[in-house]
Chain A
Amino acid sequence: MKGSLDDALKLRLKEMIIEECEKDEVAPEDINDDVQLFSDASGLELDSLDALQVLMGLQIQFGIRLPDSKAFRRHVTTINELADFIQPG
């Protein structure tokens, strides 16, 4: 199954982002699957330090190692695209 169709995986990703970025006031359902995470539209107000935290979270919780910032920008876009990267189906 493609990651974007796997609700359990997407929930885990959202919970990881909330935990790593200490966004206690955000609930997983507040994060839209198709909105760019690192954009104003997401309402998450994530910055470059959050990007590093998410990078570590992906490595620790999902075993995904992104080698550089280019790879991060390519894959950590929306929840759906990130889920598809982790689980291509």
Chain B
Amino acid sequence: MIYIHAIGIHNTIPDNQPTDLKSELKALSGKLYRRIDHFIQLAIIGAHKAVAESEPASQTALYMTSGQGDMMVFDRVRRQRYFEKRLSKPVDFVNLSSNTAGFYVVSHLGLNGKNLFLQDHHFPVQMTMLLAQNDINLRREKAILVGGVDEWIPKPELARKLLGVDETTVLGEGSNWMLIDGEVKGAIASFAMEPKALDKVQLHRLLSSVEAGTFLAFSSRFSDDEVVEVMALNKSCKRYLYEVSCAYYETLPLYVLNRFLTREQGKLIHIDISQERYMVMSVDNNGFSLESTARIY
């Protein structure tokens, strides 16, 4: 079993321009950072919030994922190279690699463990959580700080094309993190996920047997009809509506889990869909002490 020991949420809906994170980062950490762009600032802020109180062991691993990576630095370098016909700025070139963000996060937190940046076209959060779950269960890692980071792109039309969402989708940004390990002591919730993508029959079988009162959250890739169909499978389940509090970004599932843990008591099952395959994650804070939840930022 995997246990969540701390979470950090940073979730915003920018209003036509990126939010100023530099001053927020300075206020939060007391440090003045340079050479880092918006995406990296975002990553540090979320990770900092997650572990500000809990002081993870220095060997804690860091698994980070993103739907888009550091898209804006890529766009800047592309512009410099092909339109302005000049070399990229050295710092931009260094930060072009999305896993640079992980380097800055571990430097900020003083972590010396494994540092991974994971990408998956369909399920970035779920595949990262699955790897983390396996590595904890197999005792390859004792504790892992898992984060999902996506920045808001000031060219919404381009961003919607990249994300494959329709023209009306409001885009947001977020940096959501959880510190997990195999120890129940001091935990704020448990975490579990199905180890493979399910087909529709397997999903229906799973949901028809969940305990009464379980909350269900659906990724924004579900149509209204599909949600109705799934909710009808087990009428004792309640829908967890998180959608009003956020706009779309690919690592939103981590936000949904974290938000639930800050506001609800019970079990939440999060379901995502891509190409008619379903990934299912769950968190449960039933029976965990309120004292522990003081570590929720």
Question: CB within 8 Å of B: which residues of A?
Answer: 20-25, 49, 52-53, 56, 59-60
Complex CA distance for A30 and B32, rounded to whole angstroms: 18
Q: Are A56 and B89 in contact (CB under 8 A)?
A: yes
For the complex of A and B, 8 pairs with smallest distance between CB atoms: A22-B34, A52-B90, A56-B89, A53-B90, A49-B90, A25-B32, A53-B91, A22-B35
Q: How large is the interface on B (under 10, 10 to 19, 20 to 34, 35 or more residues)?
A: under 10
Taking A49-B91, A53-B89 as known contacts, 6 extra A-B pairs with beta carbons closer than 8 A to each other, sorted by chain A number, are: A21-B34, A22-B34, A22-B35, A24-B32, A52-B90, A53-B91
Q: Are B86 and A60 in contact (CB under 8 A)?
A: yes
Residues of B near A49 (CB, < 8 A) are 35, 90-91, 94
Distance in Å from the Cβ of B92 to the closest Cβ of chain A? 10
Nearest A-chain residue to B94, judged by Cβ: A49
Complex CA distance for A59 and B91, rounded to whole angstroms: 16
Nearest A-chain residue to B89, judged by Cβ: A56
Q: Interface code B19-42, partner A: CB below 8 Å = 1, 0 otherwise?
A: 000000000000010110000000
Residues of A near B86 (CB, < 8 A) are 59-60
Residues of B near A60 (CB, < 8 A) are 86
Asked if B210 lies at the interface with its beta carbon under 8 angstroms from chain A, I say no
Nearest A-chain residue to B87, judged by Cβ: A56
Distance in Å from the Cβ of B160 to the closest Cβ of chain A? 31
Residues of A near B35 (CB, < 8 A) are 22, 49
Nearest B-chain residue to A60, judged by Cβ: B86
Nearest A-chain residue to B32, judged by Cβ: A25
Residues of B near A53 (CB, < 8 A) are 89-91
Complex CA distance for A20 and B91, rounded to whole angstroms: 10
Distance in Å from the Cβ of B44 to the closest Cβ of chain A? 15
Complex CA distance for A39 and B87, rounded to whole angstroms: 27
Q: List 17 A-B contacts (CB under 8 A).
A: A20-B89, A21-B34, A22-B34, A23-B34, A24-B32, A24-B34, A25-B32, A49-B35, A49-B90, A49-B94, A53-B89, A53-B91, A56-B87, A56-B89, A56-B90, A59-B86, A60-B86
Nearest B-chain residue to A23, judged by Cβ: B34
Complex CA distance for A52 and B87, rounded to whole angstroms: 11
Residues of B near A56 (CB, < 8 A) are 87, 89-90
Q: Interface code B268-280, partner A: CB below 8 Å = 1, 0 otherwise?
A: 0000000000000
Complex CA distance for A20 and B35, rounded to whole angstroms: 9
Complex CA distance for A22 and B37, rounded to whole angstroms: 11
Residues of A near B32 (CB, < 8 A) are 24-25
Nearest A-chain residue to B34, judged by Cβ: A22
Residues of B near A22 (CB, < 8 A) are 34-35
Residues of B near A25 (CB, < 8 A) are 32
Residues of A near B94 (CB, < 8 A) are 49
Nearest B-chain residue to A51, judged by Cβ: B90
Complex CA distance for A56 and B91, rounded to whole angstroms: 11
In chain B between 246 and 277, which residues have their CB closer than 8 angstroms to a CB of chain A? none
Q: Interface code B69-98, partner A: CB below 8 Å = 1, 0 otherwise?
A: 000000000000000001101110010000
